[in-house]
Amino acid sequence: MDQKIVFIGAGSMAEAIIAGLTKSDSLAHQRIFVTNKSNQDRLTYLEETYGIKQVNDKDKIISESDIVVLAMKPKDMKDALSSIKSLIHSKQLILSVLAGTSTKAILKEINKKVPIIRVMPNTSALIGESATAISKGKYVEEYHMTIANKLLHTIGKTVTVEEDKMHAVTSISGSGPAYIYYLVEAMQKAAIDAGLEQDIAEQLIKQTIIGVGEMLRTSSEPVHILRENITSPEGTTEAGLNALKKHGFEKAITECVESARKRSLELGEEE
Ligand SMILES: NC(=O)C1=CN([C@@H]2O[C@H](COP(=O)(O)OP(=O)(O)OC[C@H]3O[C@@H](n4cnc5c(N)ncnc54)[C@H](O)[C@@H]3O)[C@@H](O)[C@H]2O)C=CC1
Ligand SMILES: O=C(O)[C@@H]1CCC=N1
Mean pLDDT of all residues in the chain?
A: 96
Ligand nearest to the CA of 80: 1
* Secondary structure (DSSP) of the chain: ----EEEE--SHHHHHHHHHHHHHTSS-GGGEEEE-SS-HHHHHHHHHHH--EE-SSHHHHHHH-SEEEE-S-GGGHHHHHHHHGGG--TTSEEEE--TT--HHHHHHHH-S---EEEEE--GGGGGT-EEEEEEE-TT--HHHHHHHHHHHHTTEEEEE--GGGHHHHIIIIISHHHHHHHHHHHHHHHHHHTT--HHHHHHHHHHHHHHHHHHHHH--S-HHHHHHHH--TTSHHHHHHHHHHHTTHHHHHHHHHHHHHHHHHHHHHT-
pLDDT in tens, 107-155: 999 999 999 999 999 999 999 999 999 999 999 999 999 999 999 999 9
Q: Check pLDDT > 70 for residue 235.
A: yes
Domains of the chain by range and CATH?
A: 5-168 (3.40.50.720), 176-268 (1.10.3730.10)
Stated pTM of the model: 0.94
pLDDT in tens, 43-98: 999 999 999 999 999 999 999 999 999 999 999 999 999 999 999 999 999 999 99
Q: How far is the CA of 11 from the centre of ligand 1 (A)?
A: 5
**Ligand 1 site residues, Cβ closer than 6 angstroms:** 8-14, 36-37, 39, 71-74, 76, 79-80, 97-99, 120-123, 174
ipTM confidence: 0.98
Q: How far is the CA of 240 from the centre of ligand 2 (A)?
A: 31
Query: What pLDDT is stored for residue 271 in this prediction?
Result: 62
